[in-house]
Chain A
Amino acid sequence: METLKEKKAKESTQQTIKISGAEAIIHCLLAEGVDILYGYPGGAIMPVYDELYKFQDKLTHILTRHEQGAAHAAQGYARVSGKVGVAMATSGPGATNLVTGLADAQIDSTPMVCITGQVTRELLGSDAFQETDIIGISTPVTKWNYQITSAAEIPEIMAKAFYIAKSGRPGPVLVDITKNAQFEEFDFSYTKCTAVRSYVATPKPDIKAIEAAAELINNAKKPFIVWGQGVILGKAEEELKTLVEKTGIPAAWTIMGASALDSDHPLNVGMVGMHGNYGPNLLTNECDVLVAIGMRFDDRVTGRLEDYAKQAKVIHFEIDPAEINKNVHADVPVLGNAKETLELLLPLVESNSHVDWHNIFKEKYQIEYDTVIKNDIHPTKEGLTMGEVIEEINLASDQKAVIVTDVGQHQMIGCRYAKFKESKSNITSGGLGTMGFALPAAIGAKMGAMDREVVAIIGDGGYQMTIQELGVIFQHNVPVKIVVLNNDHLGMVRQWQELFFDRRYASTVMTNPDFVKIAEGYHIESKRVSERKDLKKTIQEMIASENPYFLEVKVEKEDNVFPMIPSGAAVSEIRLK
């Protein structure tokens, strides 16, 4: 790439071309292909905002109403686009407000670069106004972080930040820049980072391990695939599909892996985990070979570890060596990017159909359908269920929408019943379980995929944690569809109180405001549905709208999410009611 220095040298007769650190940051962002970022200005980052003002034709800055919103919007953007999300904030409270988003991105492996302003170098450590040790605070929740104290460091560190955020197992990077470094002038040139000597982004596949995996798969009588987000992050959707179709192995997904394989694919047997499907959970403890692809055996997936898939040989396809044997022992660990390792595996596996084994999954599905699913999506009782709302969204959007969920009952119902035809369509806070994630993440998701329908599904609790981001939707006319499933409770906690705390509903009952009026205050088209007869046509109207749309659905107050693996129970102890 032609460096800025060269470009300016051509344009100018001056000998030395210098730019400020603040301007350099903008050029770094442009060189990395960033065209949108989310943030909130303040004292220590003002020089960069001044440059953003000058470059607004090339770089769109979205002013969120809280820095947490900026971080989640950047995450939503990254998750749908596969690009690095960028958020910016000032020092002190601006920086600390990003922390929840950093932690969320860290645990869900989302590529993100956060830029924070910092007090001038001379004031570091002096408890200056709006000074906080954001490097110290963010260390446990970042893949990497760095404090820049002189402008000359900017190009190299910014290049490294983007490389680290997106390479290998992605994650968030925070770059803290002291104010003096933003003002200083220096000779700028930019080279993209392609390697860091102490960092192995992606381990090289070991063909012996892949051969051992193929042998186990070929000899298995009851093999079972569980895939996670590693398939999406590794762009291995096609390889997964080919593997499943060639080997005939029933395949289930973790919440983060949803949408990597068409929901209606005959070998897609559903979700594993605490509120996953009955068959995949139960049969985890009956399979003879468990093929885990790009997933990390989270406790919400495994239930009681001592009784997780003990009868099975475990093959673990994983990019991060630290995940091997962390929770579940891998008989055959296969390190590497899922796309590369699956490509190598495919010619080695034999065609099979495993019809009898697959029929057991079908039987279990029928049991779950009769006891749970039928009542969730085609209820006969008077009150509206969350499941039927999701089903109507599937129908109205032809299963093509990006579904962004918050955290709680609606999230579990959303992930259970939302259907997908395209990858990167299920955006949720999986690992951290961050209430308040969905509204800002949906804004980022829409901006990352303007041609796609984006529907945020949020509970009445989580909605009020970041409700201020309606301001962004209004100001920029972001055509996201917001569905609040209102049960006037913190539903998931209430469910646990009902089941495990003798119905002592401590602080889970919500007296809610008029959500429709609030949305109207932001001039967003709004409807409320309280009866089944209005549901279908209102959801159709919402999906058909080309503008932002808010829909509140008053759902049954005390519905529970089933199936459920109680905390500390084995996957085979999954309860249908």
Chain B
Amino acid sequence: MKKEWFTISVYSENNVGLLNRISGIFLKRHINIESLNVSKSEIDNVSKFTIVVHTTEKWVRNIVGQIEKQIEVIKAFYHIDDETIYQESALFKIASNLLFDERQIQNIIKESNSQIVTVSRDFFVLAKSGRRYEIDEMYEMLKPFGIMQFVRSGRISVSKEVMQISALLEEFQHN
């Protein structure tokens, strides 16, 4: 079976230790987590994990089953890239003099659709959201000028299909 990129979405209670429990399931199968994001979700007091892994569909199906059986996990899903709308965010910290001295930098900012978050005497910060490859491209373009700091977030995604988590939760509560 061929390996693909999968985005796993986990809806869970917001409890101490659950991240450890979930990451352990990947550890057990010797799978590297390529990207991880934890945030609140559309439901009050329910957290959402967005996990990106490169593996086979059989394994991702097994993993999702093993995640879902954890007591504090409400529901877990997996999707391939085509089934989701997804983005990552990145911040680039660059020396301020370049902003004024290098015309090319100004072009990159314009063309990449990135925003200047702040400008100080010593540095300015560029924010860019988009697909991984778009951020990678921008990184490559800025690299020759010198990047003082770079950071990229985990993937965040929403599915194209309807996810009826709220209904599920309600059902659980009534059972």
Number of B interface residues at 8 Å Cβ cutoff, please give it: 23
A393 to B74, CA, bound (A): 49
A102-139 Cβ-contact flags toward B at 8 Å (1 or 0): 00000000000000000000000000000000011001
Number of A interface residues at 8 Å Cβ cutoff, please give it: 23
Secondary structure of the B contact surface, majority rule: helix
- B69 at interface, CB cutoff 8 A: yes
A147 to B16, CA, bound (A): 9
* Residues in B neighbouring A145, C-beta threshold 8 A: 17
Q: Are B69 and A320 in contact, CB atoms less than 8 angstroms apart?
A: yes
Q: Are A198 and B71 in contact, CB atoms less than 8 angstroms apart?
A: yes
Q: Report if A139-B173 is in contact (Cβ < 8 Å); known contacts: A144-B71, A198-B12, A198-B13.
A: no
Q: Report if A195-B175 is in contact (Cβ < 8 Å); known contacts: A136-B20, A139-B17.
A: yes
Stretch at the interface among B60-68, B94-102, B105-113, B131-139: B60-68
In the complex formed, the residue of B with least CB distance to A145 is B17
- B24 at interface, CB cutoff 8 A: yes
**Which of A143, A198, A322 has the most chain B CB atoms closer than 10 A to its own CB?**
A198
A160 to B31, CA, bound (A): 31
Q: Report if A164-B65 is in contact (Cβ < 8 Å); known contacts: A136-B20, A140-B24, A140-B28.
A: no
A144 to B66, CA, bound (A): 13
A139 to B66, CA, bound (A): 13
- A30 at interface, CB cutoff 8 A: no
Q: Are B73 and A198 in contact, CB atoms less than 8 angstroms apart?
A: yes
- Selected from A136, A140, A197, A321, the residue in CB contact (under 8 A) with B68 is A321
A434 to B2, CA, bound (A): 36
Chain A contacts with B in 299-327, Cβ cutoff 8 A: 320-326
Q: Report if A139-B71 is in contact (Cβ < 8 Å); known contacts: A198-B172, A326-B62.
A: no
- Selected from A195, A198, A321, the residue in CB contact (under 8 A) with B65 is A321
Q: Are B68 and A139 in contact, CB atoms less than 8 angstroms apart?
A: no
- A200 at interface, CB cutoff 8 A: yes
- Selected from B13, B28, B62, B71, the residue in CB contact (under 8 A) with A322 is B62
Q: Are A143 and B169 in contact, CB atoms less than 8 angstroms apart?
A: no
Chain B contacts with A in 129-169, Cβ cutoff 8 A: 169
* Residues in B neighbouring A164, C-beta threshold 8 A: 71
- B72 at interface, CB cutoff 8 A: yes
- B40 at interface, CB cutoff 8 A: no
A135 to B172, CA, bound (A): 27
Chain A contacts with B in 144-181, Cβ cutoff 8 A: 144-147, 164
A190-219 Cβ-contact flags toward B at 8 Å (1 or 0): 000001111110000000000000000000
* Residues in A neighbouring B71, C-beta threshold 8 A: 143-144, 164, 196, 198-199
In the complex formed, the residue of A with least CB distance to B75 is A198
A135 to B13, CA, bound (A): 17
* Residues in B neighbouring A198, C-beta threshold 8 A: 12-13, 71-74, 172
Q: Are A322 and B66 in contact, CB atoms less than 8 angstroms apart?
A: yes
**Which of A200, A321, A322 has the most chain B CB atoms closer than 10 A to its own CB?**
A322
A144 to B173, CA, bound (A): 20
**Which of B12, B24, B69, B172 has the most chain A CB atoms closer than 10 A to its own CB?**
B69
A-B contact list, 21 entries, CB within 8 Å:
A136-B20, A139-B17, A139-B21, A139-B24, A140-B24, A140-B27, A144-B71, A144-B72, A145-B17, A147-B16, A196-B71, A197-B74, A198-B12, A198-B74, A320-B69, A321-B68, A321-B69, A322-B68, A325-B62, A326-B62, A326-B65
Apart from A198-B72, A326-B65: 9 A-B pairs, beta carbons within 8 A: A135-B20, A140-B27, A145-B17, A197-B173, A320-B69, A322-B65, A322-B68, A324-B65, A325-B61
